[in-house]
Chains A and B, each alone.
Chain A
């Protein structure tokens, strides 16, 4: 295959696997805000090493193995700030299992949008602070006069509701309520 076509093929595979790759990286790094950067690094490395990839072989396995190395590098650099790390076996399992059913990403996103609209304003505000402003829960709790424990429980419930809402929307392909 000529290099131009090879490049085009890699771009298309990489695009296709972006959501899975991101999900994989963040699954290996739960609770770590560096996941996005690591995924970026992984993308860059995959692109650098693109000539090592044989078109037609398992792209996901290859890309994930590179991503996993990036996660390790990151951990190594962050050693002093030891995060929670899964054992090898579990990381292998995650690599195998992820990326199988990810082709509905944009539908998932659209469903979430609809479901967010159904939230109570105060719940939407909490989601907004947690995921966009990244306001620490403690600080937000002080702002709205609530305990961290209470906010955690509320967040958990909101997520449960959103997830149920998304799932029923995706399953039915139609209107679903919270």
Chain B
């Protein structure tokens, strides 16, 4: 029996899948061959070690933000078991397991998120306590207090609710909410008939309509714009309201047929116009900042995705260096302000924007706004040079949501790494699918650090070890949103295109400061 076959049988033996005849063959081998036994022991040892270590993989896979490195956790575990033994000597013996930690974690379960509604539009909204919510965010659970502005949210039942001005409310389920105060407009499709809004003076149960409700501490005014609602007052019989009817109901139970003044109810178009204006205003603010960025002398290349291109597949460099990119397979989609055609989607297989960036650089900053739909590949590309040559940077996102940045230092051998990889903690999870993020990574050769930023905030910084430090960065031919493999003439390729879109991308030949990145984020927030 050759060694490979033998080793395979050893694995089967330990896995408990070996056949009876193979067992006899292997046993005979183990009896006579010390080398076979050595392999057997080594595999048993590896199995024991893996049984312990697999637990740490579980936490990694659960995307926990662990700041303590795996190494120290494991050390602590061994030290811990020794300490436990010492304790046993005092309290008496009950039995123990070395290295086994009883924390069966549910890992790799189906991704979950929590909430019943998504903030779909907002205009000048300020939330009490400085809470920041972006379009597309899930509304947090519990009582929400809006100080001003107009917010529109979509409940998973299909109900659209628009809140106006100061209001206090809570969403209990896709079919039920409480309003303590505030003006709301609800559009309830047939699929969500029975949607209930509770107030201090009674409940509105919708029978498939559009209605307006103004809740104050004194009572509730309601008006049916279209369809029917039921009004269930506290301790009184319910009433049915239909098209155009209004009702004012006080907390003390007094009522009148007139609630809203005629003409005081804005039509839904007014709201939509207002939301669109808000987006336009935000986009104009960004455009000013984008123009400044284009003329920043530190910019090597800047793809704002908004500049007039020479032809449809060109992605224009707005920095004046003329380093225009070319779209391959990628499609133009709506940008982060919902303006169509101003972002590039890399989801179609083979998508990329090809660029060639000349020169040698020291510190560099990579900056983009990206919408991630999923991280379903091992490596999800942001910006990678072709192949992986010395001094070349690779910028991508791991399947567990960690940012990855490296500059290749040397060829890899069995005993040494080829580069230092700066990983951030995971910043993305499936509940963030479809949201736009500002992502930036600063490679600083003066401090020898790599800093990852998400939405204007540094999420990690690590020092590059001396033996893997590289002070010169070269780019050359590269791709935004994908990776070009070094092999040529081979039709097979790894799927690494970003499943998502990018609507702004820049490379700087200097390390941007934390303040500058925070400022770019504020100017560029949709």
Contacts and interface: CB of A to CB of B under 8 A. Distances in A.
Interface of A: 7-8, 11, 14-15, 18-19, 22-23, 26-27, 30-33, 36, 39-41, 43-44, 47, 84, 86-87, 89-90, 93-94, 97-98, 105-106, 108-110, 112-114, 116-117, 120-122, 124-125, 127-128, 130-133, 137, 152, 155-156, 159-160, 162-163, 166, 168, 172, 174-177
A99 to B, nearest CB: 10
B516 interface: no
27 contacts: A11-B89, A15-B81, A18-B81, A18-B98, A22-B48, A27-B44, A30-B14, A30-B16, A40-B95, A41-B95, A84-B23, A94-B37, A109-B78, A112-B50, A113-B74, A120-B378, A127-B50, A128-B57, A128-B58, A128-B61, A132-B55, A132-B58, A132-B107, A137-B17, A162-B46, A163-B46, A176-B415
B41 interface: yes
Contacts of A93: 31, 37
Contacts of B54: 127-128, 130-132
Interface residues of B, number: 68
Instruction: State the majority secondary structure of interface residues on B.
Output: helix
Contacts of B240: none
Given A175-B416, A175-B417, A31 B378 contact: no
B48 A26 contact: yes
Contacts of A26: 44, 47-48
Interface stretch (B4-12, B147-155, B455-463): B4-12
Contacts of B20: 84
Given A31-B18, A127-B57, A8 B48 contact: no
A117 B404 CA distance: 14
B254 interface: no
A86 B94 CA distance: 30
Contact of A40 (B40, B55, B60, B96): B96
Interface of B: 7-8, 11-18, 20, 23, 27, 30-31, 34, 37, 40-58, 60-61, 70-71, 74-75, 78, 81-82, 85-86, 88-89, 93-98, 100, 107-108, 378, 398-400, 412-417
Given A110-B74, A121-B378, A176 B15 contact: no
Instruction: State the majority secondary structure of interface residues on A.
Output: helix
Given A26-B47, A113-B53, A152 B61 contact: no
B71 A113 contact: yes
Given A7-B89, A90-B30, A156-B7, A168 B414 contact: yes
Nearest to B400: A121
Contacts of A105: 78
Nearest to A15: B85
Contact of B13 (A31, A47, A106): A31
Most buried by B among A43, A44, A128: A128
Nearest to A148: B17
Contacts of A90: 27, 30-31
A39 B61 CA distance: 30
A177 to B, nearest CB: 6
Contacts of A155: 11, 15
Contacts of A159: 11, 43, 46
Contact of B37 (A19, A97, A110, A152): A97
A171 to B, nearest CB: 9
Given A19-B48, A31-B17, A109 B41 contact: no
A106 B46 contact: no
B185 to A, nearest CB: 46
B439 to A, nearest CB: 20
A8 B86 CA distance: 8
Contacts of A124: 57, 60-61
A87 to B, nearest CB: 7
Given A109-B53, A112-B53, A159-B11, A27 B97 contact: no
A174 B107 contact: no
Contact of B97 (A36, A98, A152, A163): A36
A177 B89 contact: no
Given A40-B97, A113-B70, A177 B413 contact: yes
